[in-house]
A and B are shown apart, each in its own frame.
Chain A
Amino acid sequence: MAVAYRQVKFYQTGSFAVGGRLLDTPERTVQSGMTRTNALTLGHRACQGCGEALGARYVLDAAMHATGNKVIAANATGCLEVFTTPYPETSWQVPWLHSVFGNAAAVGSGIAAALRAKGRTDIRVVAQAGDGGTVDIGIGCLSGMFERNDDVLFVCYDNEAYMNTGVQRSGSTPPAARTATTEAVGDEPGNPWGQGKDMPRIAMAHEIPYVATATVAELHDLEYKVEKAMEYRGARYIHILVPCPLGWGSEPADTIRLARLAKETGIFPVFEAEKGEVIAASKIRSKVPVEDYLSLQRRYAHLFKPARRDDVIGAIQDSADRNIRRFGLLGEV
């Protein structure tokens, strides 16, 4: 499988830093530019170190860059909507529509239909939601949008629970994680084991033109995927892991580190797919055990104290290893 994006073999900072004075401009990220849109401006009320605030700016700035600043965004209820738009303030510096919790995909479809009716093929639509608004209440509208192949890029900011309403579990909450509704009690503490909803693969099953996953830790890869998605017409889906210090019980300073560890452990596979087939996966650069990831988060504290739960940690390791096999995550970077 190919590498997801062209890595610049650059000696001081490789493809990993945001920019760099020694890189040619096209090899720098959109975020490194002094004229980036800053789709989300100063003064938003996200928690310290919020991965979702960061991910949303990354995505929309890249989409603006790719389209010559012609983007309309639709937004489901969730943290991203609440911390950016307490009436009458807004942090958005792009045309932006609020929707309800479950219908961001339908609103996106509607905007796309209106633009088509007006013959405005130049303006592009991005619909966005948290994991709850995507995999749970929003899945019906989203599946419809996929099925009709509406010309919308749908982005899920996955922080693995309903954060805005106080950290309740969602269909995207990982096994064993503690949330307000899956307390760390009993023999099988935390979120029960099951398959959860693997939304990227559900999207792939719709055989839409483009599906990708990304994290806030690898900006070049994330921007590459957003810009690539804007090259397609039809339904596209990007699923982005955005650590949440509040819900995960992690240090605000560790947000990017955690996203990086999620990928390096194999817990969160980073790949892209066209028409239902995986075309590339980001290799793990230096594999680390899942424990390195889990132990930085209080939502997994019960796996280490009062007694160490090697059975549970082992089961999480097994599922990471399954991802590594399934997506071929090891090998030459």
Chain B
Amino acid sequence: MMERPFAITLEVGSSRANKTGSWRTQRPVYVDRLPPCNDACPAGENIQGWLYRAEEGDYEGAWRVLMEDNPMPAVMGRVCYHNCETACNRANLDEAVGINAVERFLGDRALTSGWRVGVDRPGRAGRVLVIGAGPSGLSAAYHLRRRGHAVTIYEASTASGGMMRFGIPAYRLPRNVLDGEIQRIVDMGVEIEFGHKVRDLMIEMEGGGYDAVYLATGAEIARNAYIPAGDSARILDALSLLRSAEGMTYPQLGRSVVVYGGGNTAMDAARTAKRLGASEAIVVYRRTRDRMPAHDLEVEEALEEGIKMRWLSTIKKADAEKLLLEKMELDATGFPQPTGEFEELEADCVVLAVGEEADLSLLQNVPGLDMSGGIVHVDSTMMTSYPGLFAGGDISQAERTVTAAIGNGKKAARHIDLWLKSGGMQAGLPGDPSDKGYHQAPSGERHRIAGWGDLNTWYYSDAPATVRLKLDMVRRQSTFDEVVLGLDENNALFEARRCLSCGNCFECDNCYGVCPDNAVVKLGPGMRYEFDYDYCKGCGICASECPCGAIEMVLEET
């Protein structure tokens, strides 16, 4: 026996002998929740994931995470209507994170730095035909190439991009940016046959030797509105106006131009008319501003540029140099009704922007397709009822945006890949969670969304959104130079760091710091933390004080 001081009978021991974990009735567990921005992105981007890298100044890493889902960040950062920002939790604190602005910064960085992606899985080749080199076709081609498939695109026109080139004006999407991002996809080994208009898809499918087809021909027929018109009235449609602006063969519009319609196309047409020399551009729309389908931001920018709006009006008759308008009023259901009150409006030309339709004539000989409502219907794997024929983008859906078109292309590519892998037997499971760009729970289930209530916002300090500069008004009205300027590195970093990292640990050390029982083990930078269940008493402080809701308390089984 060891010598001990007087009256000391036991050796000194550490309290570590006392496994206080046995007191626990509930245990903390680390979770990854689905950030609402990711959930809202029509292209299924892992926004929180790429912002996380951007926060560290690792822009290339951020861009690579982004590219997993969307091959056109620089385009996206300009034309996307950013549903993500509408869903962003930070809006409850001050203002939404400027996700779209950071995305553009990353996209531009990639173009100036020449970053590229390669083929992830070479040598598993199937042969896939894509019809239409718009955003949806290009996205599908990109994702199929990354998975090692050979891709050929048939494109009717002489240039790629679809509505990104022939619809969206250059002041919103500079063509060098568009060209740069398309070229990067082409460089991965995508064949594009220009001037190849598909007139009968059945013939192409039977003759081409392709294993699967992705149909992405968009919605390019301008809808008509019947207006009684005098002989000398000038009426044209918005799509041809925008298309000719792209071709630099500017049409004669006259001094005063009236645009008929309330969507984004109407806004673009009016703003383009102004740039082509019209001294006045007036949008005539039959409902009120809040009912306009055009995005608020675009209406805002149009108003700033001096575009005038006539709400609650329809065009009854068009003559040379003047129009007859009828005033409307909304009935109880919000539908516009004629009032019988008329007025005249000076106009040298009317531009119709009342919607676009898909040309479905190429599908006439494909048996059994559901084309009700003027769109091609697909199942949850993006396949039509004709085996091996997939479709997406404007031709298949009501949400007609570049972002949704890109998201469809990605999803279709995944399912085409699975379909080819299974020898044409089965596509992916419907509603497969990996259609979205977030980590998958081990169970294969979708993660629960990290809502505002899951956050402990005490820990986030106030920081208002960086506002993108707008081009000087005068310069903007007469040129096709880009209107919204980008962020520089400083404010892009600032903006990225405004992200609350909803539902995903960002290594703030809170749980490690606040545990009264030292039961959180810090594993080191990038490796997160672990609970020491031998000692964790299950008090729940770590879960309450996690800023981003990445810890959940679950009951212990007794």
Chain A interface (Cβ < 8 Å from any Cβ of B): 7, 9-22, 28-29, 31-32, 34, 38, 40-46, 48-51, 53-54, 57, 84, 86-91, 219, 245, 251-257, 260
Contact A11 B498 (CB under 8 A): yes
Kindly count the residue-residue contacts between A and B in the assembled complex, taking CB atoms under 8 Å apart.
163
Contact A32 B16 (CB under 8 A): no
Q: Given A42-B518, A91-B14, A219-B513, do A18 and B508 touch, yes or no (CB 8 Å)?
A: yes
Contact B539 A49 (CB under 8 A): yes
Contact B15 A51 (CB under 8 A): no
In the assembled complex, B499 has its CB within 8 A of some CB on chain A: yes
Question: Which residues of B sit under 8 angstroms from A53, Cβ to Cβ?
Answer: 516-517
Q: Given A11-B497, A16-B458, do A43 and B19 touch, yes or no (CB 8 Å)?
A: yes
One of A13, A22, A50 near B459 (C-beta < 8 A)? A13
Q: Given A31-B513, A256-B544, do A12 and B506 touch, yes or no (CB 8 Å)?
A: yes
In the assembled complex, B431 has its CB within 8 A of some CB on chain A: no
Q: Given A41-B15, A41-B16, A42-B16, do A255 and B539 touch, yes or no (CB 8 Å)?
A: yes
**Bound Cα distance from A46 to B541, whole angstroms:** 14
Contact A253 B518 (CB under 8 A): no
Q: Given A12-B55, A13-B460, do A90 and B541 touch, yes or no (CB 8 Å)?
A: no
Residue of B nearest to A58 (CB): B513
State the Cβ distance, A100 to closest chain B Cβ, in Å: 17
Q: Given A219-B513, A254-B544, do A17 and B14 touch, yes or no (CB 8 Å)?
A: no
**Bound Cα distance from A51 to B16, whole angstroms:** 20
State the Cβ distance, B153 to closest chain A Cβ, in Å: 42
In the assembled complex, B420 has its CB within 8 A of some CB on chain A: no
In the A-B complex, the 7 residue pairs with the smallest Cβ-Cβ separation, listed nearest first, are A14-B461, A18-B513, A19-B509, A253-B540, A49-B539, A43-B15, A252-B539
State the Cβ distance, B243 to closest chain A Cβ, in Å: 43
**Bound Cα distance from A251 to B506, whole angstroms:** 26
Binds A, one of B63-71, B108-116, B205-213, B530-538: B530-538
Contact B509 A20 (CB under 8 A): yes
**Bound Cα distance from A54 to B18, whole angstroms:** 18
State the Cβ distance, B358 to closest chain A Cβ, in Å: 44
One of A14, A20, A31, A45 near B507 (C-beta < 8 A)? A20
One of A22, A91, A253 near B15 (C-beta < 8 A)? A91
In the assembled complex, B56 has its CB within 8 A of some CB on chain A: yes
Question: Which residues of A sit under 8 angstroms from B541, Cβ to Cβ?
Answer: 49, 252-253, 255-256
State the Cβ distance, A240 to closest chain B Cβ, in Å: 14
Residue of A nearest to B543 (CB): A253
Question: Which residues of A sit under 8 angstroms from B514, Cβ to Cβ?
Answer: 18, 54, 256
Question: Which residues of B sit under 8 angstroms from A19, Cβ to Cβ?
Answer: 507-510, 512-513
Q: Given A44-B15, A49-B539, do A34 and B547 touch, yes or no (CB 8 Å)?
A: no
Size of chain B's interface in residues, with CB distance under 8 A? 55
Contact B544 A12 (CB under 8 A): no
Question: Which residues of B sit under 8 angstroms from A91, Cβ to Cβ?
Answer: 14-15
In the assembled complex, B250 has its CB within 8 A of some CB on chain A: no
Question: Which residues of A sit under 8 angstroms from B16, Cβ to Cβ?
Answer: 41-43
Contact A88 B11 (CB under 8 A): yes
**Bound Cα distance from A328 to B216, whole angstroms:** 66
B500, B517, B545: which has the most chain A beta carbons within 10 Å? B517
Contact A31 B498 (CB under 8 A): no
One of A28, A46, A252 near B540 (C-beta < 8 A)? A252
Complex interface bits, B516-558 against A, C-beta within 8 A gives 1, otherwise 0? 1111001011100000101101111101110100000100000
**Bound Cα distance from A137 to B545, whole angstroms:** 35
Chain B interface (Cβ < 8 Å from any Cβ of A): 10-20, 23, 55-56, 458-461, 463, 494, 497-501, 506-510, 512-519, 522, 524-526, 532, 534-535, 537-541, 543-545, 547, 553
**Bound Cα distance from A121 to B510, whole angstroms:** 35
Question: Which residues of B sit under 8 angstroms from A40, Cβ to Cβ?
Answer: 518
One of A21, A32, A43, A86 near B20 (C-beta < 8 A)? A43
Contact A17 B508 (CB under 8 A): yes
Question: Which residues of B sit under 8 angstroms from A48, Cβ to Cβ?
Answer: 23, 537-539
Contact B512 A32 (CB under 8 A): yes
Question: Which residues of B sit under 8 angstroms from A252, Cβ to Cβ?
Answer: 537, 539-541
Contact B12 A17 (CB under 8 A): no
Q: Given A42-B535, A50-B516, do A17 and B509 touch, yes or no (CB 8 Å)?
A: yes
Question: Which residues of A sit under 8 angstroms from B540, Cβ to Cβ?
Answer: 49, 251-253
Contact A13 B461 (CB under 8 A): yes
B15, B497, B512, B518: which has the most chain A beta carbons within 10 Å? B15
Residue of B nearest to A46 (CB): B516
Contact B461 A9 (CB under 8 A): yes
Contact B463 A11 (CB under 8 A): yes
B11, B510, B525, B526: which has the most chain A beta carbons within 10 Å? B510
Question: Which residues of B sit under 8 angstroms from A11, Cβ to Cβ?
Answer: 461, 463, 494, 497-498
Question: Which residues of A sit under 8 angstroms from B535, Cβ to Cβ?
Answer: 42-43
Contact A31 B544 (CB under 8 A): no
Contact B458 A253 (CB under 8 A): no
A48, A57, A84: which has the most chain B beta carbons within 10 Å? A48
Contact A21 B517 (CB under 8 A): no
Sampled A-B contacts (25; CB under 8 Å): A12-B501, A16-B459, A17-B459, A17-B510, A20-B509, A21-B508, A21-B525, A22-B56, A42-B535, A43-B16, A45-B18, A45-B20, A48-B23, A84-B15, A87-B10, A88-B13, A89-B12, A89-B14, A89-B15, A89-B17, A219-B513, A252-B541, A253-B540, A253-B543, A253-B544
